[in-house]
Amino acid sequence: MKNYKIAVLAGDGIGPEITAEAIKVLKVIEERNDVTFELLPAAFGACAYFEFGDAFPESTIAICDSADAILKGPIGLNHEDSKKIPIDKQPERGALLPMRRRYNTYANFRPVSLPKALAHFSPLKPEIIGEGIDIMMVRELVGGLYFGNKEMGVNEQGIRYVKETLEYDETQISRIMHQAFKLASKRRKLLTNIHKSNVLKSSVLWNEILEEIAPQYPDVKVVHQLVDSAATNLCLNPGQFDVMVMENMFGDILSDQGGGILGSLGLMPSACIGPDKAYYEPSHGSAPDIAGKNIANPYSMIGSVAMMLENSFDMADEAKNVWNAMQAVFADGYSTADLSKAGSGVKMISTVEFGDKVVEKLRLG
């Protein structure tokens, strides 16, 4: 019998609601496999700040350190409420980035996946969607502008200025490239490299390292694409992409666009993998406007559980079953109010009902 410890950080806004549904799924997996999941809930985000004065308190750090994997809900407050927390203690800067740094989770996998059962959510025309969209965005997560030196002040002329540094060294670039190449060789053997080497030196080095590594993966075809052009192509012809690799900031922006072409960021789970620890989180925010209404779809959180099963617990078959169960619920015509308008022909259900239906399908499969 395997016993895994999972730190469960439900987060802010809709976080606790969608986390509760993800836990139901873990229970089903536990029931029918030779495995136990020890769930270790811990405060993280704005809620932790208000309780402990710290968005990533020591007690949570200790729990995460001891866990085999971390399941993390969305964090953050709306623009106005954010002002109640000093800038450096706000959940993004005070919790999320420190977590990424602490566990060195440099490889962020964000599936942009639109199987037939979800096609009606997409704003793209059916002829553009074709047989569906199946992209894996690989985002470097602990370098670049996010983690470079930051400086803000007033210069000698009395003019306010800001300076942020975009820094990468070759080891940071090569490790994410290897992740992307390995994944590409398991999929369609097509890697699209996203860069901006016509302007940024960081992209020149990025591309140089890629060229050096590429011969180790002779079966993978590499296509280079400028980030701005990729943004257009994601809308015009998403089928041209399979695995995409990009630096941190490009990945932040293009992965949100990925959510856009699916129809909602609510359809974007993710895995953040480091050398010794991984955490799993939806790619979206805490949606304070719909929190507590039981209308948020838990897809991104349950999808994050599926990614955890596959990457941290070597349970790829169960991961597949979880994806299939969610798609089966959509295929039956169900949706939640965050994803669909009333009267749009879907059978509207709540967050909790969606979770229950996924569990039902999972038990069948």
Residues that bind ligand IPM (CB under 6 A): 92, 96, 252, 283
Of 189, 196, 293, 320, the active-site residue reads: 196
Q: Which of 252, 310, 318, 338 binds Mn ion (CB under 5 A)?
A: 252
> Is 242 assigned a catalytic role?
no
Q: How far apart are CA 112 and CA 245, in angstroms?
A: 13
Q: Spell out where 221-364 has E strands.
A: 221-226, 243-246, 271-273, 278-280, 334-335, 347-348
Whose Cβ is closer to ligand IPM: residue 269's or residue 357's? 269
> Catalytic site residue 228?
yes
Active site residue 146: yes
**From the CB of 252, what's the least distance to Mn ion, in Å?**
4
Please give the structure tokens belonging to residue 106: 């440099």
What is the rounded CA–CA span in Å between residue 357 and residue 351? 10
- The catalytic residue among 54, 242, 252, 338 is 252
Nearer Cβ to ligand IPM, position 92 or 360?
Answer: 92
341 catalytic? Reply is no
Least distance to ligand IPM, CB of residue 252, Å: 4
Closest CB to ligand IPM among residues 54, 252:
252
Nearest to ligand IPM of 270, 324 (CB atom): 270
Q: Which of 4, 146, 168, 279 is catalytic?
A: 146
Relative to beta strand 278-280, strand 243-246 is unpaired
What stretch of H or E contains 184? helix 170-186
| Residue of this chain nearest to ligand IPM (CB atom) | 92
The reply on whether position 310 binds Mn ion by CB under 5 A is no
20 near 81, Cβ under 8 Å?
A: no
User: Choosing among ligand IPM, Mn ion, none, which partner's interface includes residue 92 (Cβ < 5 to 8 Å by kind)?
Assistant: ligand IPM
Q: State the amino acid at position 234 in one-letter form.
A: L
Q: How far is the CB of 313 from ligand IPM (least distance, A)?
A: 23
CB of 279 to ligand IPM, least distance (A): 11
Helix axes 351-364, 299-311, angle to 10 degrees: 40
In 3-state terms, the chain is what percent helix, strand and coil (to 5)?
A: 50, 20, 30
Give the angle subtended at the CA of 245 by the CAs of 249 and 240, to the nearest 5°.
115
Question: Which of residues 22 and 96 has its CB atom nearest to ligand IPM in the complex?
Answer: 96
256 is catalytic: yes
Q: How crowded is residue 141: how many other Cβ atoms within 10 Å of its Cβ?
A: 26
- By the 8 A CB rule, do 315 and 305 touch? no
Catalytic residues: 146, 196, 228, 252, 256
Binding site for Mn ion (CB under 5 A): 252
